[in-house]
Amino acid sequence: MKSAPRVVCWLVLLFSLIYLNGCSIVKAIKTVNGGQLVSTNVTPAVVPFTLTGHPILIKARINNSPKEYTFMLDTAALTIVRKEVAEELKLPQGVKVAMRGSGGNSKEIDLITLNSLRVGTQEVAQCAAGVIDMSFLNFKDVAGVIGSNFLRYFVTTIDFTNNTLILSPPRTQHAPPMGGITIPFTIDAKNGFAPAIDCVVDNEIHDTVLIDTGAPVCLIPSYMVKKTNGYKRGKTIKAIGSMSKGIGGLSEEDHAVRLDDLKIDDLLFHNVPTFSHLSKNGQLLIGNHILSRYTVTLDYPNGLMTLVPNGKPFMDNFPIYGLNLDKQDEKLLVVGYWPNSPAAKMGLKIGDEVIRLNNSKAMNFSALDLMKLFISEDTEGAIELEILRDGEKRRVVLHKENMFPPVR
């Protein structure tokens, strides 16, 4: 999936691979396309997940390890293993490839083959995974990412009402869930087998959208922002500083714009809040802001997505505190904010150090803790920050406000 911990903005890990020299190409392609379903269990695996704001977290075992590890579930990413976990399990080295994130920059990773990757009772042998130093994410308790190169062997159902992931073995004919809309999709190794669907933005921009459970919001490539009706009306919002962080570091430019219309096959959404990303792949990403309104079934073997509404209404806005924090040199710093947001109105500035958060030491908060606080559609509650600026301390209380002006 794409980019990384905007500790308070979002996390997107859509990873695309760029193969390096000629010797690496053949081996890398073979590794990514490898994998085999271990079909000893024909009963669907029902796996609980946690989702407090973002991201979706599930348990999995690598190479039949006695220990279960916590992974992010990301349908728009290749499977990833954190470097420390790979060392703990003594995983072998693989082929060096470059991985590109939403910041448009690349980073060399080690592409390996796992003997076994098991989620619940379902297992895939010889599954490709990228080994990466994930310190830039500051997710010490997360072992990596379960991506679509694993999920593609199953009929994968994500039940956002009951917080369960269901992995069903493939069937020649799979009856789609009742009461939903079924949309065909394609998968490609270049995008980590992320489900891809043709879409139309604002009735005239034709593109491809990736189904991305690794993104809490809808993300639009930066070049496309200028083509939207919102941009033409002067309604885009440009961040001050950086509101995202990827493989190559903090982003240099972030925008937000509301789409008039987003049409995915026969499914039409109006007034869709979106945020920009800098990936050179140039694809739209549909995140959990939309997906969580449905029980989502991705029938990978047959290339069909079924969305069954769960009664949660679509929101045409996104409540925010409006700032982005990043841990640097053992400090938690303000590195960006949205203009006219609660953070801007309270006078926060780039470089302010957050020393306490809700009366606790700010450095005690993990990236996941911060996401639970910041990435949520909950409009209730407030956060209290103690800020250090030029040797002086001050307290700031932020209440969430909607990102965009009301729809008229």
Closest among 140, 113, 109 to 124, alpha carbons compared: 113
Burial readout 98-114 (b: 16 or more C-beta within 10 A, e: otherwise): bbbbbbbbbbebbbbbb
Let me know: does 196 contact 187? Beta carbons within 8 Å.
yes
Task: Output the pLDDT for position 357.
Answer: 93
Let me know: does 14 contact 76? Beta carbons within 8 Å.
yes
The DSSP code for 402 is E
Task: Output the pLDDT for position 176.
Answer: 66
Question: How many whole angstroms separate alpha carbon 284 and alpha carbon 353?
Answer: 34
Task: Output the pLDDT for position 141.
Answer: 82
CATH architecture of 186-293: Beta Barrel (2.40)
Beta-bridge partner residues of 336 = 241, 324
Question: How many whole angstroms separate alpha carbon 260 and alpha carbon 238?
Answer: 18
Q: Could you tell me where the DSSP H helices lie in 15-164?
A: 22-33, 83-88, 148-151
> What residues in the chain have per-residue pLDDT under 70?
1-23, 40-41, 53, 99-106, 136-139, 172-177, 245-249, 279-282, 376-379
Task: Output the pLDDT for position 363.
Answer: 87
Domain definitions of the chain by residue range: 16-168, 186-293, 319-402
Amino acid at 322: G
Cβ-proximal residues to 251 (8 Å cutoff; 6+ apart), any chain = 3, 103, 242, 243, 244, 245, 278
Check for a shared fold between 16-168 and 319-402: no
The DSSP code for 244 is -
- Report pLDDT digits (tens) over 152-211: 999 999 999 999 999 998 875 566 667 789 999 999 887 889 999 999 999 999 999 999
Which CATH number applies to 16-168: 3.30.830.10, 2.40.70.10, 3.50.50.60, 2.40.110.10?
2.40.70.10
Which is the CATH superfamily of the domain at 319-402? Answer: PDZ domain (2.30.42.10)
Amino acid at 359: N
What does the block give as tokens for 87?
């060392």
